[in-house]
Amino acid sequence: MSVDSATITRVAHLARIAVDPAEVEKLGAEFNSMLGFVEQLASLDVSNVEPMTSVRPMRIKMRADEVTDGGYPNRIVANAPSCEDDFFVVPKVVE
Amino acid sequence: MSDLTKLTLAEARAGLIAKSYSAVELTRAHLEAIEKARALNAFVTETPEKALAMAAKSDERLASGQAGPLEGIPLAVKDLFCTDGVRTTASSKILGNFVPSYESTVTSNLWADGAVLLGKVGCDEFAMGGSNETSAFGPVVNPWRRREADGSIDPTPLVPGGSSGGSAAAVAAHLAIGAAGTDTGGSIRQPAAFTGIVGIKPTYGRCSRWGIVAYASSLDQAGPFARTVEDAAILLKSFASVDGKDTTSVDTPVPDYAAAIGKSVKGLTIGVPREYRVDGLSPEIAQLWDQGIEWLKAAGANVREISLPHTPYALPAYYIIATAEASSNLARYDGVRYGLRVPGEDIVDTYEKTRAAGFGSEVRRRIMLGTYVLSAGYYDAYYVRAQKVRTLIARDFEASFNDGIDAVLVPATPSPAFGIGEKSGGDPVEMYLQDVFTVTVNLAGLPGMVVPGGRSSTGLPLGLQLIGRPFGEEALFTLGHVIEAAAGRFTPEPWWQD
């Protein structure tokens, strides 16, 4: 399988990464090299095999649904590139 | 290097308790070594003042008889563990000024046991790489250099391996007594092999992942670096815990790993998988492997050839699973709550510009590949298929263990350390092949330990890898100690002090 420039541009947008049009061709070549490498998995018969969903077989942990932490908005926004009164500031989203 | 930086962890601990020197003196000796080793670029952030303050506290506890198991021991920490009040970058521009207000569980355990933080060491960006060259802070340099046939030193700078290259270089160069790393596809074991030290990736779920910057959550696991097998055992006991904050942390008591050192290996059966004798395996790696087999036999272990038939499919399955999980985990770096922001015309443009500027090329490539394999129409063909292959790889190991195998012996890497720039220019797949002997362990969630076993024709250290049963770390320490006793320890010439 090989991907074209339109696919690279679409995937970049899905991943929310701006890609310079001049870079698309090189990225496509790298993508195709990596996809070619993983292609060998297609030759393996995996019918009747369950996908791994838990690395170590274990019962999923449950805990009480209660607040055990928090109450420090100043710490939460301390690393924000832009904030105002303990709120994150972003470009206008709704007109 | 001064005498205090030559000590093993076990020796340093005994000396501190005997009051032969203070924790402040021990820490100061390591801080001086770090100052003289800037040519190695091992540290992203040095924390000398914090280190001396922590060491002074250790001296108080030592004086009052309240010393913890790591009291006063100076350690380096991979810049992937969040440290309260100390910048944590994941060696990425996008987190270049991130200062957490919380501490990862693993490092909390270390400080609770009395250890001292020397600083944060470099790694591949978001732990994605096998050479340290993807770091936004420049590559770490391996303390080892090649030797020419006539005995002269080749000054070409070599990679320390990756992704935990700073951790490995700091320990190998005697800048720290031990270090914390993480291993997603070989990121503890490959750098340990490239720098001639001991590194262990524990069983998945043994060490909490809470507070560690996530790469691929179903593969990531923290573990220690040390210069001896015993030191690694002492460190792992403090790393490991049962943590309610990590849902994959397994409720199994932490054993006294150091007690496994020196036990007899008589009656243990070691598996040697024929699929690891890959085409083109270098003769010196094959010879190292045979030597390891002989050492274990001589100590009384039984050695048997085994088959792990799905081994050739491990690397492609790994690169699908790891990139898919990375694309999801790294979605959080959007320039809103922390890290870099590059303003755009609207919110989406801001995300796209921020992520393009903040991530390096390898990270962008992996996020995009992961996005592709998870996208509509490809999810079953790639991700689900890879998770099925993963089941087959885990079953291969399980069958061997059920058949009486206690541990598996394989090489750690297909080659010794290579030069900076030698593999990073071309096809990314060439670099991925570095992980051929290590990724199977992450896919199956097993423990794997690397112990130095010999030298290459160019004088560089080479590592042997022991793979254990789930939660079979104690057997690895017992067997690793046998290899260490036969192979000896490996110390580079301190050229960086010139």
Establish if B64 belongs to a structural domain: yes
Sheet holding B43-46, edge to edge: B43-46, B116-121, B74-78, B178-183, B221-226, B198-201, B448-455, B461-468, B407-411, B269-273, B302-306
| Measured CA distances, A19 to A16, B348, B355, B359 (Å) | 9, 13, 10, 12
Report B:37-76 residues touching A (Cβ under 8 A). none
B492: left (phi over 0), alpha (psi -120 to 50) or beta: beta
Of B264, B281, B160, B223, which is closest to residue B446 (Cα–Cα)? B223
pLDDT tier at B1, thresholds 50, 70, 90: very low
Flag whether B93 is in a domain: yes
Q: What's the DSSP call for residue B153?
A: B
Chain A residues lying within 8 Å of B429, measured CB to CB: 33-34, 37
Judged by CB atoms closer than 8 Å, whether chains meet at A30 and B428 is answered as yes
Contact state of B352 with A18 under an 8 Å Cβ cutoff: yes
Q: How confident is the model at residue B429 (pLDDT cuts 50, 70, 90)?
A: confident
- Number of domains chain B is built from: 1
Contacts of A33 in chain B (CB under 8 A): 427-429
- The percent of residues above 90 in pLDDT, for chain A, comes to 75
Q: What is the dihedral of CA B470, B8, B497, B421, to 10 degrees?
A: -10
Distance CA A30, CA A43 (A): 22
Out of A19, A51, A60, name the one closest to residue B247 (CB).
Answer: A60
B50 is catalytic: no
Cα–Cα distance, B67 to B75 (Å, whole number): 16
Report the distance separating Cα A13 and Cα B447, nearest Å: 38
Running DSSP on this structure, what letter comes out for residue B378?
T
Q: Do residues B194 and B30 make contact, with C-beta atoms less than 8 angstroms apart?
A: no
Strands B269-273 and B302-306: parallel
Which residues in A lie closer than 8 A to residue B207 (C-beta atoms)? none
Q: pTM, whole model, 2 decimals?
A: 0.97
Q: Find where tokens 């696991």 sit.
A: B221
B355 falls within a domain? no
Residue B433: CA count within 13 A, CB half-sphere: 13
Inspect the interface and report whether the beta carbons of B352 and A16 lie closer than 8 Å: yes
Residues 6 or more apart from A70 whose CB is under 8 A from it?
Answer: none
Q: What is the mean pLDDT of residues B274-284?
A: 91
CA distances from B154 to B111, B147, B158 (A): 40, 6, 10
Mean pLDDT of chain B: 96
**Least trusted range by pLDDT, from A51-65, B253-267, B448-462:** A51-65
Query: Residue B213 to residues B79, B138, B162: CA-CA distances in angstroms?
Result: 9, 19, 16
Contact call for A33 and B394, based on CB within 8 A: no
pLDDT at A2: 77
Distances (CA, A) of B105 to B171, B220, B239, B374, B446: 22, 14, 9, 31, 21
Residue B174 DSSP one-character state:
T
Query: What confidence tier does B434 reach under pLDDT thresholds 50, 70, 90?
Result: confident
Strands B178-183 and B116-121: unpaired
Cα(B451)–Cα(B463) distance, rounded to whole angstroms? 5
- Confidence at residue B2, expressed as pLDDT on a 0 to 100 scale: 57
**What local confidence, expressed as pLDDT, does residue A88 receive?**
96
Taking CB atoms within 8 Å and a gap of at least 24, the contacts of B420-426 are B420/B131, B420/B133, B420/B139, B420/B141, B420/B156, B420/B157, B420/B158, B420/B159, B421/B133, B423/B131, B424/B131, B424/B133
How far B465 CA lies from chain A's nearest CA (Å)? 21
Is B249 a catalytic site residue? Answer: no
User: Which chain A residues have a beta carbon less than 8 Å from that of B390?
Assistant: 51-52
How confident is the model over B317-354, as pLDDT tens digits? 999 999 999 999 999 999 999 999 999 999 999 999 99
Residue B430: pLDDT band (50, 70, 90) is confident
Amino acid at B288: L
Query: How many Cα neighbours within 13 Å face the side chain of B99?
Result: 9
Domain that holds residue B205: 3-267+489-497
Per-residue pLDDT of A19-40, as tens digits, reads 999 999 999 999 999 999 999 9
CA distance B93 to A55: 32
β-partners of residue B270 are B303, B407
Under 8 Å between Cβ of B88 and B98: yes
B278 in any annotated domain: no
Chain A and chain B share a number of CB contacts under 8 A equal to 157
Q: What is the pLDDT of residues B56-100, one digit of tens each?
A: 999 999 999 999 999 999 999 999 999 999 999 999 999 989 999
Q: Is B163 assigned a catalytic role?
A: yes
Please give the Cα distance from B371 to A88 (Å, whole number): 27
The CB density around residue B284, as the number of other CB atoms within 10 Å, is: 17
CB neighbour burial string for B474-483, b if at least 16 within 10 angstroms, e if fewer? bbbbbbbbbb
Which of B347, B364, B374 is best to mutate for the A interface (most A CBs within 10 A)? B364
Q: In Å, how far from its chain's centre is CA B181? A: 4
Class of residue A65 by CB neighbours under 10 A (exposed 0-12, middle 13-18, buried 19+): exposed
Q: Is B226 within a domain?
A: yes
The answer to whether B241 touches B108, Cβ cutoff 8 Å, is no
For residue B49, give every residue at least 6 positions away whose Cβ sits within 8 Å of its Cβ, in sequence order, or none: none
Chain B environment of A13 (Cβ under 8 Å): 352
Q: Is A82 on the interface with B (CB under 8 A)?
A: yes
Give me the residue from B316, B389, B392 closest to A37, CB to CB.
B316
B367 with A3: Cβ contact below 8 A: no
Region A28-57 average pLDDT: 92
> Could you write out the DSSP letters of every residue in B390-452?
HHHHHHHHHHHHHTT--EEEEES-SSS--BTTTTTSS-HHHHHGGGTTTHHHHHHT--EEEEE
Residues 42-81 of A with CB under 8 A from B: 42, 44, 46, 49-53, 55-56, 58, 60-61, 63, 72, 75-81
Q: How far is it, in rounded angstroms, from Cα B356 to Cα B345? A: 15
* CATH number where B45 lies: 3.90.1300.10
Is residue B52's pLDDT more than 70? Answer: yes
Q: Does any domain span residue B198?
A: yes
Q: Percent of chain B scored above 90 by pLDDT?
A: 95
Give B309→chain A minimum CA distance, Å.
Answer: 12
- Cross-chain CB nearest to B98 (options A31, A51, A79): A79
Nearest to A90 among B336, B368, B369 (CB): B336
Task: Compute, in degrees rounded to 10, the torsion defined by CA atoms B57, B59, B60, B64.
Answer: 140
Count other C-beta atoms under 10 Å from residue B381's C-beta: 14
Above 60 in pLDDT, residue B133?
Answer: yes
